[in-house]
């Protein structure tokens, strides 16, 4: 394809280090689509004859059908997907195939193909996140009143509702979807027609190709267009943030499904057994979601490091942009699907959650608040009195609301029997009804509000 000035062909090592076809064959659909848009424009502009343009378009359709049926052949001599398609086109329609590459370069071609691919990945992520958000809303609704311990430092802190806890992830994922949407919007410019680096002297119509490929407009600077990979980095950043959220959720499910917690049983379909310990049900899918986050973050790091020292315009380093992004997208798609299944199917053990909330003096703050509200005790003093009550309960091995009134009054005489109502976990969560708080009513309100906002699927 480029041998004119060379006396010798590339060595075996050169062929191997240069070949991107093993991975960039994933771009075949985008490559053919972009070539069809390009050749239609060349025909319409009279840069190639309408007849040649039609022959090329037909040939490209034939190749698409072949690849769909048989896969893409991997010949290292052809380097990449662009050469692979063109070589096949030449076999099919003869030398007229050589007119396809008029007024373009592999540099604007690969930038266009990759953008199309990343655009689809952004949109897939948004749709998959929507499914997970819906699953979270369903389970949050179901468990709006289910009481569990809320933690800080992984120490029992205050009772919360499971619905509220699940909605925390709903909020994170809503922001993740917005990040993919913003990436999608920024990516919406078409590099095709930037040619190798400087544009072209042929009378091309860049608006036409941009429109045909579904972009809002052509890119505005040819050097930028062929050198820029921040659209892919935007994807990696959004994917990393989303993967971090999924990983934290996975981590919690793993903890909750452990026997000492006993808060949840993960679905059989997303768990595995042990080859030696028959009782085991291992949360492998959740662990892999947590693990994959590392690889997704690594992909973004790899691409940033590849890009950071490159002079304008194209350098072959940039061929290494694709494997990390492809990998990140594959792992994110899998992680979102696995997590959606897990959220939909996990069985939550309400009794165990409630017992844990009751066991950990989670209503100690409620006792302090009661002293402030009902007995006009300054909060710091109330905190101290409550600390003594907790120590007493600890010594007696009972819950706060099981302490005898006279012993509480011995700690502070301002306590009276009305305090017990404030010490139940139900009262505790119901009382936290500030906007965005854990009260069941607030959870139901937020679920309703969020369902309104979710795009109908
Ligand atoms: N396979 C190359 C890539 O993915 C295509 C662009 C090649 N351009 C060039 N001037 N060698 O980056």
**Res 9: pLDDT:** 84
CA 319 to ligand 1: nearest atom:
12
Q: What is the largest CA-CA distance in the chain?
A: 101
Alpha-carbon distances, residue 451 vs 125, 146, 153 (angstroms): 19, 20, 32
Query: Which is nearest to 383 in space by CA: 365, 400, 358?
Result: 365
Instruction: Flag whether the ipTM exceeds 0.90.
Output: yes
Enter the tokens of residue 134: 């819906």
3-state secondary structure string across 412-436? CCCCCCCHHHHCCHHHHHHHCCCCC
Helices (H), 97-148: 106-142
Nearest CA to ligand 1 atom 1: 80
How many Å lie between the centroid of ligand 1 and the Cα of residue 105?
Answer: 9
153 is an active site residue: yes
Cα-Cα-Cα-Cα dihedral sign, residues 242, 244, 247, 248: negative
Alpha helices, DSSP H, located in 282-423: 284-307, 322-345, 350-359, 364-375, 379-396, 405-411, 419-422
> H-helix or E-strand containing 165?
helix 162-186
- CB atoms < 10 A from the CB of 440, how many? 20
366 lines ligand 1 (CB under 6 A): no
- Asked whether the beta carbons of 414 and 375 are under 8 A apart, the reply is yes
Q: How far apart are CA 81 and CA 329, in angstroms?
A: 20
Report the 10 Å Cβ neighbour count for 334.
15
User: CA-CA-CA-CA torsion for 375, 380, 384, 385, nearest 10 degrees?
Assistant: 0
Inform me whether the pLDDT recorded for 84 exceeds 70.
yes
pLDDT band at 455 (very low <50, low <70, confident <90, very high): low
Identify whether the C-beta of residue 399 lies closer than 8 Å to the C-beta of residue 362: no
Give residue 426's pLDDT. Answer: 94
Q: How confident is the model at residue 8 (pLDDT cuts 50, 70, 90)?
A: confident
List of E strands, 16-163? 147-152, 155-161
**Residue 33 pLDDT > 70, yes or no?**
yes
Instruction: Report helix, strand or coil for 347.
Output: strand
Round the CA-based radius of gyration of the chain to a whole number and report it. Answer: 30
The predicted pLDDT at position 277 comes to 82
Query: What confidence score (pLDDT) does residue 456 get?
Result: 54
Catalytic residue among 35, 49, 105, 274: 274
Mean pLDDT of the chain: 95
Q: How far is the CA of 83 from the centre of ligand 1 (A)?
A: 10
Find the 243 Cα to ligand 1 centroid distance in Å: 30
Tell me the per-residue pLDDT of 194-250, one tens digit each, with 9 for 90 and over.
999 999 999 999 999 999 999 999 999 999 999 999 999 999 999 999 999 999 999
CA distance readout (Å), 135 to 127, 208, 251, 401, 453: 13, 41, 18, 36, 15
Q: How confident is the model at residue 371 (pLDDT cuts 50, 70, 90)?
A: very high
In tens, the pLDDT along 107-128 reads 999 999 999 999 999 999 999 9
- Confidence class of residue 389 from pLDDT cuts 50, 70 and 90? very high
Q: Does residue 222 line the site of ligand 1, with CB under 6 A?
A: no
What integer pLDDT is reported at residue 232 of this predicted model? 98
Cβ–ligand 1 distance for 146 under 6 Å, the answer no
Assess whether 315 carries a catalytic annotation.
no
Of 20, 49, 105, 153, which one is the catalytic site residue? 153
Q: Are 379 and 387 in contact (CB under 8 A)?
A: no
Question: Ligand 1: distance of its center to the CA of 91 in Å?
Answer: 22
Euclidean distance between the first and the last CA atom of the chain, given in angstroms as a whole number: 47
Q: What is the model's pLDDT at position 154?
A: 95
Dist CA 29 CA 27 (whole Å): 6
Nearest CA owner, ligand 1 atom 7: 106
């Amino acid at each position: 394809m480029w041998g004119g000035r060379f006396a010798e062909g590339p060595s075996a090592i050169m062929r191997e280090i240069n070949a991107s076809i093993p991975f960039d064959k994933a771009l075949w659909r985008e490559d053919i689509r972009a070539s069809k848009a390009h050749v239609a424009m060349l025909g319409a502009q009279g840069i190639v004859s309408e007849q040649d343009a039609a022959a090329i378009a037909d040939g490209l359709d034939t190749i698409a059908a072949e690849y769909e049926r048989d896969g893409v052949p991997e010949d290292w001599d052809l380097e990449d997907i662009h050469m692979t398609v063109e070589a096949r086109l030449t076999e099919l329609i003869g030398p007229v195939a050589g007119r396809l590459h008029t007024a373009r370069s592999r540099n604007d071609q690969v930038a266009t193909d990759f953008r199309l691919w990343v655009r689809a990945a952004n949109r897939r992520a948004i749709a998959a996140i929507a499914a997970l958000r819906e699953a979270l809303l369903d389970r949050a609704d179901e468990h709006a009143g289910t009481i569990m311990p809320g933690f800080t430092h992984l120490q029992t802190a205050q009772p919360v509702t499971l619905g509220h806890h699940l909605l925390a992830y709903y909020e994170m994922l809503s922001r993740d979807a917005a990040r993919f949407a913003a990436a999608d919007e920024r990516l919406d410019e078409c590099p095709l027609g930037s040619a190798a680096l400087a544009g072209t002297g042929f009378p091309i119509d860049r608006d036409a190709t941009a429109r045909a490929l579904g972009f809002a407009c052509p890119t505005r600077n040819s050097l930028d267009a062929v050198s820029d990979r921040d659209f892919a980095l935007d994807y990696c950043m959004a994917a990393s943030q989303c993967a971090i959220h999924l990983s934290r959720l996975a981590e919690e499910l793993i903890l909750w499904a452990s026997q000492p917690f006993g808060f949840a049983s993960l679905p059989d379909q997303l768990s595995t057994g042990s080859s030696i310990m028959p009782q085991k049900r291992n949360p492998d899918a959740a662990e892999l979601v947590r693990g994959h986050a590392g690889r997704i973050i690594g992909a973004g790091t790899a691409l940033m490091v590849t890009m950071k020292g490159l002079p304008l315009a194209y350098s072959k380093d940039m061929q290494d942009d694709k494997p990390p992004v492809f990998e990140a997208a594959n792992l994110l798609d899998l992680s979102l699907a696995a997590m959606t299944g897990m959220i939909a199917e996990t069985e939550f053990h309400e009794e165990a959650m409630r017992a844990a909330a009751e066991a950990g003096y989670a209503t100690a703050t409620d006792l302090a608040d009661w002293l402030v509200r009902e007995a006009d005790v300054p909060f710091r003093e109330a905190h101290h009195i409550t600390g003594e009550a907790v120590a007493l309960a600890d010594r007696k091995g009972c819950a706060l609301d099981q302490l005898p009134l006279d012993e509480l009054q011995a700690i502070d005489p301002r306590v009276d029997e009305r305090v017990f109502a404030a010490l139940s976990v139900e009262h505790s969560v119901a009382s936290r009804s500030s906007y965005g708080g854990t009260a069941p009513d607030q959870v139901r309100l937020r679920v309703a509000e969020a369902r309104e906002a979710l795009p109908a699927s």
